[in-house]
Amino acid sequence: MSNKDTAFYRKNQSIIVDFSAEEISTDGSLVLLEKIERQHKLIKHFSKYIPDHRDQSRVTHSVYHQLKQRVFMLMLGYEDANDVSHLNNDPIFMDVLQGELASQPTISRFENSLDKHSIFKLMNVWIDNYVSGLQGRKAVIIDIDATDDPTYGQQQLSLFNGYYGQFMYNELFFHDGQTGQIILPVLRPGNSHSNKWYVALLKRVVEKIRAKYSEMKITIRTDSGFSGAAFYKLVDDYNLFYATGIASNNVLKTYTKDLEKEVKDTYLSKKEKHQSFISFNYKAKSWHKSQQCYAKVESTGKGMNIRYFASNIEEKTAKQIYFGFYVKRGEASENRIKEVKNMCFSDRLSNHRYWANFFRLIISSLTYEMFLLLKQKIKQTSVEVAKKWQINSIRTYLLKVGAKLKITKKRIYYQLSKSFVYKDLFRQIITQ
């Protein structure tokens, strides 16, 4: 080889690789994230409620520094604490954090520093933070749903769940059905049923909303796993509206038996999908009173599809409640949970202690909330394609951009790549 740095030849040209370029970071967007944090102070707000029992004379990295580092790392796709080893010499991370990054052992101690009382305090702070942003609104929709988080180690309260058929944690989320905000994230033991704890938590959320906004209209939207006697009692006690799925049983099937036959015969005669709704009053033995219930009976060509649901929403037909309101929880709640779990890494709960993993869930939820603020800024730009991006697309197309850092006595220059495709989008956001 004519040159020791020659990797290969392309026709008569040698391809040379060396490490002579200036320091370049792949995370040039950190300056954008820092501006969002400076504007909204979301991470700083929550860091105030995290206890710090360390000897302050020996502290190098404050609680705020560690929480900010952890959230920013998750936003840039560094999902584990030990990923800090890849960023030790990153000039932009060091500039944004105003010093060296906290090491993996420091971050691990930070995650394990919270006990039950600290977590409960953070949960109350989370609800208060949500309620403080409701000014000017007349109604809210609260979506409630859960997701499984398979576990593979010796995590505390990682238990076998018969429904999912695996050892796992059970993550519960309360979402705002209109804005996508997380009202409250909760980590439950792996063997928890969907309705474990949620009525008591929902009561706390409703009381905090009503304490500040007594006339606020509150509508609850859940799937069948959350239908139960305690829920319907809460609805009546606090004058809530709701739409919830109901699990099928033999009694409910008697209400739809005739309609099922009619729909099936219609399909066989016309050879096309057919759908019909029916409404009726129904009371399970444990319920304090009967509820207005509905059924959607549909022939699909591959069998019958029958869905039962209950609702006290007035002046709407069963079809309007189902398609105009209930099924929208798929986008408002289920897809948002996918973003928290798969794109903000709430499925990486690999600490041994249960409360440390609960804190990790909170950190992932904070990461999601930061992305939500970024989404709001994207909506104010003229780049239409970006307004449809989910978190993974935002990270790939907007946040992962090469940049150099140039520091003078009076200025710090972030020099982003000339070939950055979404430079106009970046410029529009950072100047807001």
Is residue 170 one of the residues assigned to a domain? no
Is residue 104 one of the residues assigned to a domain? yes
| Domain residue limits at 304 | 250-316
Is residue 425 one of the residues assigned to a domain? yes
Question: Where residue 16 falls among pLDDT bands split at 50, 70, 90?
Answer: confident
**Structural tokens at position 400:** 């992962």
Q: What is the mean pLDDT of residues 85-114?
A: 93
Three-state SS for 384? helix
Do 105 and 11 lie in a common domain?
A: yes
Residues in CB range of 381: below 8 A, 6 or more apart: 387, 425, 428, 429
Is residue 22 one of the residues assigned to a domain? yes
Do 92 and 14 lie in a common domain?
A: yes
Other Cβ atoms closer than 10 A to 356:
22
Angle at CA of residue 305, ends 295 and 198, nearest 5°:
60
pLDDT tens per residue, range 18-48: 777 788 889 999 999 999 999 999 999 999 9
pLDDT tens per residue, range 381-421: 999 999 999 999 999 999 999 999 998 989 999 999 889 99
Question: Where residue 275 falls among pLDDT bands split at 50, 70, 90?
Answer: confident
Question: Where residue 3 falls among pLDDT bands split at 50, 70, 90?
Answer: low
Do 310 and 377 lie in a common domain?
A: no
- Give dist(CA 30, CA 98) in Å, integer: 12
Q: What are phi and psi of 15, to 5 degrees?
A: -95, 110
Tell me 28's DSSP state.
Answer: T
What pLDDT score does 310 carry? 97
Domain boundary among 316, 345, 365: 316
Do 10 and 103 lie in a common domain?
A: yes
Going from the C-alpha of 38 to that of each of 43, 251, 310, the distances in angstroms are 9, 57, 44
What pLDDT score does 89 carry? 85
The candidate with the shortest Cα–Cα distance to 403, out of 18, 29, 19, 21, is 29
Mean pLDDT of the chain: 93
Residue in the block written with tokens 């709960």: 349
The candidate with the shortest Cα–Cα distance to 150, out of 138, 165, 135, 137, is 165
Q: Which residue has the higher pLDDT, 142 or 57?
A: 142
What pLDDT score does 271 carry? 67
Is residue 175 one of the residues assigned to a domain? no
Q: What is the mean pLDDT of residues 362-388?
A: 97
Is residue 49 one of the residues assigned to a domain? yes
Identify the weakest region by mean pLDDT among 13-17, 257-261, 360-364. Answer: 13-17
Question: Is 190:161 a contact under the CB 8 Å cutoff?
Answer: yes
Going from the C-alpha of 182 to that of each of 6, 91, 274, 308, the distances in angstroms are 53, 33, 37, 27
Q: What are phi and psi of 358, to 5 degrees?
A: -60, -40
Do 383 and 311 lie in a common domain?
A: no
Do 309 and 361 lie in a common domain?
A: no
Is residue 191 one of the residues assigned to a domain? no
Residue in the block written with tokens 């970071």: 25
Query: Is residue 302 predicted with pLDDT exceeding 80?
Result: no
Is residue 11 one of the residues assigned to a domain? yes
What pLDDT score does 303 carry? 76
Question: Is 293:280 a contact under the CB 8 Å cutoff?
Answer: yes
Question: Where residue 299 falls among pLDDT bands split at 50, 70, 90?
Answer: confident
pTM, 2 dp: 0.94
Query: Is residue 232 predicted with pLDDT exceeding 70?
Result: yes
What pLDDT score does 378 carry? 97
Q: What is the mean pLDDT of residues 223-241?
A: 95
Query: Is residue 312 predicted with pLDDT exceeding 80?
Result: yes
The candidate with the shortest Cα–Cα distance to 50, out of 124, 130, 129, 122, is 122
Number of domains forming the structure of the chain: 2
What pLDDT score does 1 carry? 46
